[in-house]
């Protein structure tokens, strides 16, 4: 198991401050544009990236609070301490599994630290059921909260939960 990542930077309050968002999985990087779902690949839900998992765990990519935890265990929302709203969706159309092969480890309202396990899932069973597992992580408020979002890793790169995936230049917070 990889050592825990360094602590996240303090809450940002100035425009232009950059934060890094960690990997939400162990696996290979897939560019968001290459995800086989137009809602994600078009960027309609926000800027981000994806990982094809090689380990059946979803990790917290930053310190924050769980804002969404689908009862089916396939998707989670996280508001980072920097005010970014992240959506992590394990695979495509996996809501149709109705929770089968997913084991949530958090609930809405829980506070998590970068590297905490959010959910576990059975990769072979989900693939055998015919579902792709490339897992997007998008910043749903990226237009409002981020001046820019850059991929830190290249397509195909191997990553762990200790690696960073995105570098985000923050816009000034309201009432800052």
Catalytic residue chosen out of the listed positions 24, 74, 89, 101: 89
> Whole-angstrom Cα distance, residue 97 to residue 95?
5
Query: CB 59: neighbour CB atoms within 10 A?
Result: 22
Write the CA distances from 166 to 19, 86, 148, 155, integer angstroms: 8, 12, 10, 13
Give the residue carrying structure tokens 């408020």.
Answer: 141
**Cβ–Cβ under 8 Å, residues 138 and 78:** no
- For residue 101, indicate whether it is catalytic: no
Backbone phi and psi for residue 19, each to the nearest 5 degrees, phi listed first: -130, 155
Active site residues: 89
């Amino acid at each position: 198991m990889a050592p825990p990542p360094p602590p996240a930077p303090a809450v940002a309050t100035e425009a232009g401050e950059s934060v890094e968002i960690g990997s939400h999985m162990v696996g290979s990087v897939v560019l968001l544009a290459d995800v086989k779902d137009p809602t994600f690949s078009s960027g309609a839900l926000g800027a981000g990236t994806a990982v094809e998992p090689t380990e059946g765990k979803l990790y917290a990519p930053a310190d924050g609070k769980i804002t969404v935890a689908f009862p089916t265990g396939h998707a989670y929302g996280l508001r980072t301490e920097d005010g970014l709203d992240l959506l992590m969706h394990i695979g495509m159309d996996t809501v149709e599994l109705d929770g089968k092969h997913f084991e949530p480890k958090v609930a809405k309202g829980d506070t998590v630290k970068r590297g905490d396990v959010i959910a576990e899932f059975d990769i072979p069973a989900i693939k055998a059921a015919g579902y792709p597992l490339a897992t997007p992580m998008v910043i749903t408020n990226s237009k409002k909260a981020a001046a820019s979002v850059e991929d830190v890793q290249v397509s195909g790169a191997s990553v762990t939960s200790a690696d960073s995936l995105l570098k985000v230049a923050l816009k000034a917070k309201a009432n800052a």
